Structure 1
């Protein structure tokens, strides 16, 4: 230990965890209860008792979690010479390293959807051919599937994280019924099968070497090998034998079946290894890569053995006024540091404009505290990002800078760009898109319409023509060529909508959207029902925005100016954060606003809904503002209204 040990006062709970002699410990922590610091404190205790720092694995689920570890080491007084020896990283990085040792070479790792887009769209084409030959009419995705790529990658993450196919057994056969039994769409699973065949040949049986790995793939690939009946290694050269004396796993609430399979085998192979897992069971959101609360509850007992469970109840993030109702909501003990002050307010907000007033008050408060107070310390956390369209519009009008996290700004949403391009063509306006938005608008329009251009060799050549066309050329020639090749019902709906829009009367836009039947078009180009629901919400928001303008052309003019304004803003400028709740995990803000906590849209007993609300409410340091519509307060608010 370094002589520079900090002089923080540790709580009795932290001391109990640090000094616990059990080989299997799970720390059931509350939000903001210094989970990572406590994990680092435990590592310091192990080193003091003689453990070799090189043999203590400090693992986290995310890269920010790894950085939090590094900060925590300094906080608990671990010297640099010791920290340099500690193997610290994500479970994904650890798995990739063990696979490299097994495979004898590095495999390209990718993190951005753009890097695997071609692999996904190629898989879609092959999957459609396979499905139509065996189960005609069951494959729901039309066209190239470009708009569905990001949603499909998230679906793949859940399929892999849950080890759904492997756990279904060796006799699993993919049919619409078996897909439904697993809880996934038939279309997504067929595409997944083809994608994995391209990526690894694992499912094709032609080899074991992956061609590339996307986020989460290393853990999945390693877990798949670990449960294989014929693994490519023996016990003597097992890839998980690292001589580990301890494994410290932070963010355990993000654990899924693939991660747990690696952890379980790691503890089995490294006999006598100490394990400490730290997490908050109420932050388990199953949509995130297949996270499962099973492992924070009975799963560990069943799969590994009964651990010593220790609490970490004292939150340092917020005060008692938030800790008490949050504890009531989660039905668990919750205390707060006495030096923390926080407040909770519940307000009625029936419209986006009323929510804007709440946001404006928050920004005035921040700026009133200090000229340099960052707007990024004000966060609006959204259950349904599609509902952000009107709020974004008002923020632009008020010249309040903002950034979206976890979802696209309404200016970039494909359905908004598609409708904008159709309206621009219908009222015959010129140059209504910035260069960046035009390319996205052309691609979105092609995907919603479908088809290929007459005279081209198929989707590849059509894509080239779409991308290279000027705005005028696309509207005058390419658009009509696509409509000629689209199905009769699709082209008829779009032409009818454009005819209705040609009068330039903004009040007629609801009729235009109704004629498009945008939901039906969306179901053709997206796999997930949640994507279709968000599209319905965003289009509704766009129609409400349109009411503020005198004509369709004036709306389009305004949207063009918004495009340029969004591009012109300084990246260094302090901004309000608009985030979906999932992306706010692990973050905290001075003031958190959670709009739309309404009956029927953000309530119920489903674990994910409750966890999402818990995560959102527990991000606040100083002030939490919850809003609901008149007479529609969610049952989640009951404990916060006292």
Structure 2
């Protein structure tokens, strides 16, 4: 064991002065250590300090493993090591991996061959279709509730459900005992269709439990966890690490926990993990505060938990408001007044205007647009905001979330307009035309028609054929004789004049189709169906507020798509939902639609909603703009819970204290440019050697004259 007793830190970092909390973690002596952190509390930097301290205490860098959950977090950890002064050649020796990469490496050794991933949607779709066919052969007629659709939306929804099952390790047959599919699906929390298709899919993927025929994202993690669960001896594949660290433990799920637990036990390595239990927002993917709260403590009773309460992202005013919201003891180490601005709106269009005004003010204050992000609870809220940004000529990017014109429900309505105007050619992108045909088929209920997959691509290549296809081949019936809702819509569209008000036409289509009911059929998840319904209403409202006829509105949205999809290297803002920006930070965060019924969403777990809001407000460094209804009773409960005005005087005092003490941080070490051949001379003069940076140094207070030629 390399940490025998607690002692002064061997490693002194560049540019920062670690807090007492960080030093406790850096020099902790216990074999298993957790850091329970707040947002912005330098979790990754603290792990870097832990690694650097290990190296300073003679641990071979090659016997250190650093784990993260995403490639972005992995790369940040590598950069933090260099930032604090660890030479890049030393950093290169440390194993810095995602858990998925560790799983792939381990499986390659266990299986004796390279682990390859199938990531192409087309190939994954073929595997899902095959599993659906298997279930149809075995169970149609036995269970009346099966919903075996093959649309792209249905395939995507199934893959999401499969990921949740694997993350929670709920597919193992011994998890449920009795082989009862109905009971098993209920216990696993998925529809019976998804459970049966998952069993068929996995049976084919694992070739009857023998060996993986193919893998996609997360399968390596699941397969390794499954192997460790069934044969603990598989842990012998792990290298003999002496130190293991893991970042972002709030993203941990059952599969990754099984791997990390087996890794610690098999290697006997010292383990340090950090996380923020209030950032658990991916609970549907198996993430849980339980891992930070008690799962590690159950597995390793001698574990010691250390707090990381000081944030370095924003100043005391926001930190103290967040502390009121989350009932924690966070403090700030930033000598800056992070502004909290509150704006109010009357209606959707006014909310979008307030967003634009906040962005323009940020630009007028001489800040970079790229450091500004608009963060929403759900994607349906972006419709009015995207239109306002386009109208104000403000470029934006949607890194994870699709822009509203590329979403299935809006693609369907765009297809409706194309049919009404017989102008599918106006959509210039082949990929978008394909997606529009797919959406028309899914929402009309004809996606399962024989040969439709080929027809979809043919129509995208020959857009002038769109109207004729849906007119003459609606689900295999002639339009005139069909009594379906979409046939009724087709008859209406083919008769409507091109100058009819776009809002009225789309509203009529939604009513005739009963799109709210269609959304519940297409999107099994109730929350997703609700978001889709609200997204449709937002688009219809946009059409109505435009005052344009069908033809003019059609031209407008196609031009808007060109604007929205144009690639820009600068002068753009980010637009996304809160769940997709965890781990990121911005100079200015704008959060619109802060009203009851929107944020928090009453259909979702209250704890998850509060955590989501916490993640959103804690992404900012300099300015936070909160936009809520003009009527106080409609405003989000979180605004009142933050007590922004009440904490301001205390935050002012804390800010003055930080400003007064920030200037006393003196230099603790002065590093020399001494070369290898100078080592004996500088040692005799009183210099000391830093084994992590591989440099000689003198301490504060030493006479610098003898070392003049080695000073920068």
- TM-score norm. by structure 1 comes to 0.91
Q: Which residue number corresponds to residue 77 of structure 1? A: 85
Q: How many residues align?
A: 624
* Corresponding residue of 1:285: 281
Contact 1:451 1:485 in 2 (8 A): no
Matched, 1:164 2:162: no
Match for residue 613 of structure 2? 613
Change in 2 beyond 3 A, CA 1:430/1:13:
closer
Give a deviation string over 1:305-331, Cα, whole Å, max 9, x none.
241110111101001111011111111
1:473-523 deviation digits (Å, cap 9, x = unpaired): 121134531344599999621122234442433324322211111233333
- Residue aligned with 2:89, SS: helix
> Any unmatched runs of 5+ in structure 1?
none
- Residue 145 of structure 1 contacts residue 526 of structure 1 at CA under 8 Å; is this kept in 2? no
Query: In the alignment, is residue 123 of structure 1 matched against residue 118 of structure 2?
Result: no
Q: Separation in 2 of the partners of 1:57 and 1:465?
A: 51
Q: How far apart, in 2, do the equivalents of 1:114 and 1:6 lie? A: 49
Structure 2 residue runs of 5 or longer lacking an equivalent are 1-8, 646-712
**1:453 and 1:482 in contact (8 A); partners too:** no
1:387 Cα deviation from its structure 2 partner = 2.1
Asked if residue 539 in structure 1 is aligned to residue 547 in structure 2, the reply is: no
Cα deviations by residue, 1:86-119 (Å, 9 ceiling, x for unpaired): 0111011001100000000112224564552332
Partner residue of 1:413 out of 407, 416, 419 = 407
Task: Trace 1:325-474 onto structure 2 (pairs within 5 A).
Answer: 325-370=321-366, 373-429=367-423, 431-436=425-430, 437-451=432-446, 458-463=451-456, 465-468=458-461, 470-474=462-466
Please tell me whether the aligned partners of residues 451 and 486 of structure 1 are also in contact (alpha carbons under 8 angstroms).
no
- Aligned to 2:596, the other structure's residue is in SS state coil
- SS of 1:261 mapped into structure 2: helix
Taking a change above 3 Å as real, the CA distance of residues 5 and 618 of structure 1, as seen in their structure-2 partners, is closer
Change in Cα spacing, 1:421 to 1:304, as seen in structure 2 (3 Å) is same
Considering only aligned residues, what root-mean-square deviation do their CA atoms show, in Å?
Answer: 2.7
Indicate if the aligned counterparts of 2:10 and 2:53 stay in contact, CA closer than 8 A. no
Give secondary structure in 2 for the equivalent of 1:405: coil
Structure 2 CA distance for aligned equivalents of residues 21 and 35 of structure 1? 19
Q: 1:550–1:358: structure 2 CA closer, same or farther, 3 Å change rule?
A: closer
- 2:160 corresponds to which residue? 154
Contact 1:500 1:511 in 2 (8 A): no
For residues 251 and 122 of structure 2, the distance between their equivalents in structure 1, rounded to whole angstroms, comes to 25
Cα offset for 1:11? 0.8
Matches within 5 A, 1:101-116: 101-111=109-119, 113=121, 116=124
Once residues 216 and 453 of structure 1 are traced to their aligned partners in structure 2, the CA distance between those partners, rounded to angstroms, is 29
- Structure 1 residues 10 and 439, CA gap change in structure 2 (3 angstroms): same
- Alpha-carbon distance in 1 for matches of 2:189, 2:581: 26
- Structure 2 CA distance, aligned partners of 1:76 and 1:426? 62
Partner of 2:485: 493
Pair 1:219-2:189 in alignment:
no
Answer whether contact 1:141 1:523 (CA < 8 A) is retained: no
* Alpha-carbon separation, structure 2, partners of 1:462 and 1:571: 35
Deviates more, 1:12-21 or 1:413-422: 413-422
Q: Of the candidates 50, 53, 75, which is equivalent to residue 45 of structure 1?
A: 53
Looking at structure 1, the residues matched to 88 and 295 of structure 2 have their Cα atoms a distance apart, in angstroms, of: 36
Cα 1:445–1:222 change in 2 (3 A) is: same
* Counterparts in 2 of 1:256 and 1:489: CA distance versus 1, 3 Å: farther
- The 3-state SS of whatever aligns with 2:588 is strand
Tell me the equivalent position of 2:558: 560
Task: Provide the C-alpha distance between the structure 2 equivalents of 1:90 and 1:127, rounded to a whole number of angstroms.
Answer: 35
Using the alignment, how far apart are the partners of 2:553 and 2:595 within structure 1?
30
Which whole-Å CA distance do the structure 2 matches of 1:101 and 1:7 have between them?
41
Find the aligned partners of 2:392 and 2:290 in 1 and give their Cα distance.
Answer: 46
State the distance in 2 between where 1:314 and 1:550 align. Answer: 53
Q: Larger Cα Rg: Structure 1 or Structure 2? A: 2
In the alignment, structure 1 residue 181 sits paired with structure 2 residue 187: yes
| Matches of 2:322 and 2:120, distance apart in 1 | 35
1:414, 1:444 within 8 Å by CA — same for their partners in 2?
yes
Partner of 1:578: 575
**CA offset digits 1:443-470 (Å, max 9, x no partner):** 221222243798xx645544454454x2
Call closer, same or farther: CA 1:8–1:112 in 2, change over 3 Å.
Answer: farther
Secondary structure of the 1:598 match is coil
Q: How does 1:299-338 map to 2 (within 5 A)?
A: 299-338=295-334
Instruction: Work out the CA distance in 2 between the residues paired with 1:632 and 1:162.
Output: 37
Output the TM-score relative to the length of structure 2: 0.82
Q: Per the alignment, do residues 475 and 459 of structure 1 end up closer, same or farther by CA in structure 2, a change over 3 Å counting?
A: closer
